[in-house]
């Protein structure tokens, strides 16, 4: 059912992209979803699905019909395999927190996750959302089948065996191939993680990154946060465990709510009015972080609450380029006079073969820069984008960047295939918006 616009239900998380859709629709099931798309297309209206609105780019923005898949959020089918893994088909609108909960109740879990669990599964895979782990890929690599509503309102199933080209674009392609109604995920038995967080000198992190026993190879999930204006970092090493002491609720609240959100919001407000305090505040923050170690179910270790709003740009670079990239960012920050209050986050992923995956064909390091949403970010992000361009960095599809189709075609060997399938699946541009037109390029 398409309804006239009401008070905006959805707002871009980072407030980077305002949108006024002509209509909002919240179909109750796949048939209603298919009718809604077909009706909109017949009226010449554009359609965009929205998940949790957590992208920093205007990927989900439309002036046509905005479709919320919130009602398609059920586990539909579970096919267990002898080795303990399972294929789970789930409504595309389900939020990751709910998905994690439902999988845990079945004794199952996703292999890897990003650092929040607010996104919808469809939104997360469509933008190439990833976590960290040198032997693991992003969320879309865990998808083995999709149910898609095409631009004509037809409902089709796709997988590596059935309509493989459509599958490629549908599992990671910003919704250019159609609206995802359901996805089938390959999941694993639920597992615990031994989480070890420690502040380290940045130089020691960089020295000990590589090699068989290095931080990257030697841990299932390694990441670090570097505090600009300092040479200090917070390291996170998460490894599979069978048992161990948990984290007391008080310590969890102090670290995750009070320090990472409450105090962090206050220090960001302070540095917004008094930028000169940034360097000192970062140094104090980096030094006052204390080590902690605990064991908990994987989803609880992966995701933490993020209530301080920020803007973000993240680039995927060849792993070997990481030290040089960080050095250049550090040098630029020093020379520029800009004050950066948010840490730079560094993660890792295995090479994969998904057409539009930021880790396509190369072992990858992710470098994410953030800026508090009330502070200027354009100069910082533009400089970082220039640095990333020199090493053929690929931008996260859901985070800020200024690349267009021409450059993206140079960065992705299968980009022309993605463009071809988009043209075949949606010849009239029902699923277009200005962001898609920019990144996929004009229709021929
Ligand atoms: C605080 C925060 C933390 C984050 N952490 C991480 C992280 O750890 N790792 C990482 O990689 N990214 C991270 N991100 C980025 C985030 O995961 C992506 O931007 C993701 O797309 C957001 O999911 P969403 O459900 O909000 O999608 P939306 O932003 O609503 O939509 C994203 C895209 O998916 C499309 N889409 C949504 N639903 C459908 C559907 N049913 N069918 C077809 N297309 C659809 C939309 O049209 C749009 O193109 C983070 C973002 C924030 C704000």
Q: Which of 131, 142, 136 is nearest to 171 (CA)?
A: 142
Q: Best mutation site among 60, 128, 168 for ligand 1, i.e. most ligand atoms within 8 A of its Cβ?
A: 60
Q: Is 120 in the pocket of ligand 1 (CB under 6 A)?
A: yes
Average pLDDT along the chain, 444 residues, taken 10 residues at a time: 35 52 90 97 94 90 92 98 98 98 98 95 98 98 98 97 98 98 98 95 96 95 95 95 78 67 75 81 73 93 85 96 98 94 95 98 98 90 97 97 97 98 96 95 80
Q: Which CATH class is domain 192-395?
A: alpha beta
CA 317–ligand 1 middle distance (angstroms): 20
Domains of the chain: which residue ranges? 2-68, 75-190, 192-395
pLDDT at 217: 97
Q: Which residues of 399-410 are buried (b: 16+ CB within 10 A; e: fewer)?
A: bbbebeeebbbe
Q: Whose CA is nearest to atom 34 of ligand 1?
A: 123
| Residue count of the chain | 444
The pair phi, psi for residue 380, each rounded to 5°, is: -60, -50
Q: Is 115 in the pocket of ligand 1 (CB under 6 A)?
A: yes
CA 130–ligand 1 middle distance (angstroms): 10
Q: Is 344 in the pocket of ligand 1 (CB under 6 A)?
A: no
Tell me which architecture the domain covering 75-190 has in CATH: 2-Layer Sandwich (3.30)
The pair phi, psi for residue 85, each rounded to 5°, is: -75, 170
Q: Is 69 in the pocket of ligand 1 (CB under 6 A)?
A: yes
pLDDT at 9: 35
pLDDT at 344: 97
Q: Which CATH class is domain 2-68?
A: alpha beta
Q: Where are the alpha helices (DSSP H) in 179-277?
A: 202-207, 249-252, 264-273
Q: Is 363 in the pocket of ligand 1 (CB under 6 A)?
A: no
Question: Which ligand 1 atom is at minimum distance from the Cα of 120?
Answer: 25
**Whether 37 contacts 153, CB under 8 Å:** yes
Are 2-68 and 192-395 the same fold in CATH?
A: no
pLDDT at 250: 65
Q: Is 433 in the pocket of ligand 1 (CB under 6 A)?
A: no
């Amino acid at each position: 059912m398409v309804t006239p616009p009401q008070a905006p239900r959805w707002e871009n998380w980072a407030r980077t992209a305002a949108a006024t859709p002509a209509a909002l629709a919240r179909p109750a099931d796949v048939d209603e979803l298919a009718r809604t798309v077909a009706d909109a297309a017949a009226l010449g209206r554009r359609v965009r699905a929205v998940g949790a609105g957590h992208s920093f780019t205007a990927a989900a923005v439309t002036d046509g019909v905005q479709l919320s898949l919130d009602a398609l959020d059920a586990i539909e089918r579970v096919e267990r395999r002898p080795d303990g893994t399972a294929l789970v088909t789930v409504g595309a609108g389900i939020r990751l927190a709910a998905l994690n909960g439902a999988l845990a109740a079945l004794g199952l879990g996703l292999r890897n996750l990003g650092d929040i669990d607010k996104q919808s599964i469809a939104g997360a895979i469509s933008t190439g959302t990833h976590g960290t782990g040198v032997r693991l890929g992003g969320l879309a690599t865990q998808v083995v089948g999709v149910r898609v509503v095409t631009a004509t309102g037809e409902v089709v199933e796709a997988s590596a065996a059935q309509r493989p080209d459509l599958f490629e674009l549908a599992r990671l392609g910003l919704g250019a191939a159609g609206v995802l109604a359901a996805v089938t995920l390959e999941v694993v038995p639920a597992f615990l993680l031994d989480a070890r967080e420690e502040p380290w000198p940045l130089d020691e992190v960089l020295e000990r990154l590589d090699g068989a026993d290095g931080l990257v190879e030697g841990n299932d999930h390694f990441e670090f946060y570097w505090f600009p204006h300092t040479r200090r970092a917070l390291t996170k090493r998460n490894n599979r465990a069978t048992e161990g002491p948990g984290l007391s609720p008080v310590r969890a609240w102090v670290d995750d709510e009070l320090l990472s959100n409450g105090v962090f919001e206050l220090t960001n407000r302070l540095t917004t009015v008094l930028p000169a305090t940034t360097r000192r505040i970062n140094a104090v923050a980096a030094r006052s972080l204390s080590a902690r170690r605990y064991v908990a179910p994987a989803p609880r270790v992966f995701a933490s609450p993020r209530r301080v709003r920020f803007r973000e740009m993240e680039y995927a670079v060849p792993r070997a380029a990481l030290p040089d990239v960080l050095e250049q960012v550090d040098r630029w920050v020093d020379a520029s006079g800009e004050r950066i209050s948010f840490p730079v986050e560094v993660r890792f992923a295995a090479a994969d073969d998904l057409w539009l995956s930021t880790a396509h064909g190369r072992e990858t390091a992710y470098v994410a820069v953030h800026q508090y949403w009330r502070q200027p970010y354009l100069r910082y992000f533009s400089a970082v984008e220039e640095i990333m361009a020199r090493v053929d960095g690929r931008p996260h599809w859901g985070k800020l960047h200024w690349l267009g189709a021409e450059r993206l075609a140079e960065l992705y060997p299968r980009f022309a295939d993605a463009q071809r399938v988009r043209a075949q699946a949606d010849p009239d541009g029902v699923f277009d918006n200005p962001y898609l037109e920019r990144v996929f390029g004009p229709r021929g």
